[in-house]
Amino acid sequence: MKIALVSPYDFAYPGGVTSHISNLSRELIRTGHQVKILAPSSVPPDALLPDEVIRLGRPVPVPSGGSVARLCLSLWLLPQVREILRREQFDIIHLHEPLAPFLPLLVLRLSTSVNVGTFHAFHGSTRVYFASRRLLRPSFQRLHGRIAVSPPALQFVSKYFPSEYRVIPNGIDVDRFAKEITPLPEFQDGKVNILFVGRLEKRKGLKYLLGAFGRLKWDHPNVRLIVVGPGNLDRDSYRILGERNLQDVVFVGGVSQEMLPRYYRTADICCFPATGKESFGIVLLEAMAAGKPVVASDIDGYNGLVTHGVDGWLFKRKDEVALATALARLVESPDLRQEMGRRGIVKAQGYRWERVARQVMDYYEETLAARGRVPALVGVQPTHPLA
């Protein structure tokens, strides 16, 4: 089958949608399909990007829902997109955030293929969707199949664009995070390592973790906080660091995908204190795959993954006292950490990319069949007439 995966976001910049597309592409190619990724990129095509990526435009940063979306806003891409679609003749065009400006909308306008859209977001577009839903309705109706990555994502998009959706979760590379690798030696000094992984944006809630860590440090001086992720600290986080004179807080910055599993392996506890607007918690599953207990805010997108008291602890969002209490319980009990970690490993298996990609492929085939289309067979062994 010939498949296009379309992203509105800078493919050279780390993010949940980019990671999703990269992993889905790899799994589809592994099972014999031809895949091209259409996306803007801030780097030239020959730098950092895999061979299957077709670069379409340069992205610019656009504030969105407490985050920053790096989008290409050029309408001059239209002739280039038209030529690519004419040349490639894709069976399926799978658009991620299909109503985001401008690349997915251009592709939808020009596509003669079967179009499938995946809606990832649980934030960032409420006002846009409300204000422009009449303008976006024709583009939405050009989607022949619709996927949401979680019930919160489904609830978010269906409020403005009611329709039938298939919920198919994000996946993770379980084996990469479960691999037995050596922890980082600089953190192997007997201290209990608490790990935060995420962009340094206000909605990721780092300031509440810093506040909780300050409380925790009084009774448990043998703890360390490791912060992994790109971005700059907000003013409140700087204030907490200064006022409480916090020690043993290590800011690593962004790390490569190759190094990230070593940080999970180094951690004793993984903490994710986001304040909301999360459609899915990929980082929670990465931590679980690494066998680490999770402490996470009780928000949509997280509480569907963590079973409270079984493979992690949920705490009331923005409540640093509750967060400090949850962390203290795990700091005090290595046995509980190990037991929760073992249970998390079991849960993570359900989100292997092999399983998720199979669900996506099944949905492609259902959608093609509903449109009376038969895809080209590209080196795959058919499991039924449309495989």
Do the Cβ atoms of 181 and 261 come closer than 8 Å?
yes
Do the Cβ atoms of 293 and 327 come closer than 8 Å?
no
Mean pLDDT in the chain? 91
- Burial grade of 134 (CB within 10 A; 0-12, 13-18, 19 or more): exposed
Judged against a pLDDT cut of 50, whether residue 124 lies above it is answered with: no
User: For residue 132, what pLDDT band results from cuts at 50, 70 and 90?
Assistant: confident
Per-residue pLDDT tens digits for 40-73: 999 876 666 778 999 998 888 876 655 677 888 8
Per-residue pLDDT tens digits for 203-212: 999 999 999 9
Nearest to 96 by CA among 31, 157, 176: 157
Q: Which domains does the chain have, with CATH numbers?
A: 2-171+352-370 (3.40.50.2000), 174-350 (3.40.50.2000)
* Rounded distance between C-alpha atoms, residue 144 and residue 337, angstroms: 45
Do the Cβ atoms of 92 and 113 come closer than 8 Å?
yes
pLDDT of residue 75: 79
pTM for the full predicted model: 0.85
* Rounded distance between C-alpha atoms, residue 95 and residue 295, angstroms: 33
Per-residue pLDDT tens digits for 258-315: 999 999 999 999 999 999 888 889 999 999 999 999 999 999 999 999 999 999 999 9
β-pair partners for 35: 3
Max distance between CA atoms of the chain, in angstroms, equals 66
